Structure 1
Amino acid sequence: MALQFTKEKAPLTPKAIQEAEQRLGRKFPEDYKRFLLEHHGGHPEPCGFEFVQPRSNGEKDWALIAYFLGLDGKHETIADYLVSYEDRIPRDTIPIARDPGGNPILLTLGGKNQGKVYFWMREHEPEDPDEVQEYDYLGFVANSLDEFLGALTDPP
């Protein structure tokens, strides 16, 4: 099944993406920029994804994307999620989507994990706030945004 989107906003222009990068103080990977030129927010179908459970021995689980976050709008934008989760997610990540419970799907913007996709879940958040920035508490999803989008499927 080809990936399709519902409830998406109009695709962004290169200028709008550049302005958003400046406003957010983050440089987006090229695959994410290409994605934003075609899709801006919205619900994907299929919407299921597999991830490796945090702090496990490779144990996998399934989750769903409720929708991809937009760069602008009245609510639940990337900027909103950055404010809400700024001390709870690694600083070199950006929330690009969310599950039905509001847990963000993150894209890594720099460092050794650059371009990788992770899943943050409240139930795996450490009690010690100094540990929150660690990747050990994130579920690994994919090595790139393109890999992530290509792997979306109907959940089992």
Structure 2
Amino acid sequence: MKLQFTHGKEPLTPERIQEVEAQLGRKLPDEYKRFLLKQHGGHPEPCEFEFVRQGEKDWAVIAYFLNLGDEHETLSEYLISYEDRIPRDTLPIARDPGGNPILLAVSGKNQGKVYFWMREYEPDDPDEVQEYDHLGFVANSLDEFLGALTKRP
């Protein structure tokens, strides 16, 4: 099934992506920039994906890819909400129906990989730094993730 999007915004321009990078103080991976130039936010169909957490496979659903604007469902909004709860080298790029973010590692040894953060696995200690062992691994790259979106068997 070909990946399609509904409820998306106008694709971003390279100039707008540079503005967002300056606002965030972070460089976005090239693969994510290419995605934003074609697709900006919205609901994908198919929208289900498999992830692995502590050796166990499970399934989740994408409600929306976050947009980089200043309206509802924005990357900035999620980054502010989750900044002390997700690894510092990740950015939220999408969310599930319950608001749990799908993350893209933007630097470090995990750069380019996609992860799924879930409230139920968040550390109880609010001072504990969120590490990758609390996340579900989704894909080695954004393109791999997008290509693996499917309907659950």
The number of residues matched between the two structures is 153
Q: 2:125 aligns with which of 123, 128, 151?
A: 128
Moved over 4 A (4+): none
Show the 5 A alignment for 1:1-156: 1-53=1-53, 56=54, 58-156=55-153
What is the alpha-carbon distance in structure 1 between the residues aligned to residue 93 and residue 151 of structure 2?
A: 20
What is the alpha-carbon distance in structure 1 between the residues aligned to residue 98 and residue 3 of structure 2?
A: 22
- Cα deviation, residue 71, structure 1: 0.2
What is the alpha-carbon distance in structure 2 between the residues aligned to residue 23 and residue 101 of structure 1?
A: 27
- The answer to whether the 8 A contact 1:125-1:132 is kept is no
Cα distance per residue 1:90-142 (max 9 Å; x no partner)? 01000000000000000000111000000000000010123342110000000
Query: Normalising by structure 2, what TM-score?
Result: 0.97
Computed over aligned residues only, the root mean square deviation of the Cα atoms, in angstroms, reads 0.8
What is the alpha-carbon distance in structure 2 between the residues aligned to residue 2 and residue 37 of structure 1?
A: 19
**SS of match in other structure, 1:34:** helix
Unaligned 5+ residue runs, structure 2?
Answer: none
**SS of match in other structure, 1:136:** helix
Give the fraction of aligned pairs with identical amino acids, expressed as a percent: 77
- The answer to whether the 8 A contact 1:88-1:132 is kept is yes
What is the alpha-carbon distance in structure 2 between the residues aligned to residue 120 and residue 140 of structure 1?
A: 9
Unaligned 5+ residue runs, structure 1?
Answer: none
Query: Normalising by structure 1, what TM-score?
Result: 0.96
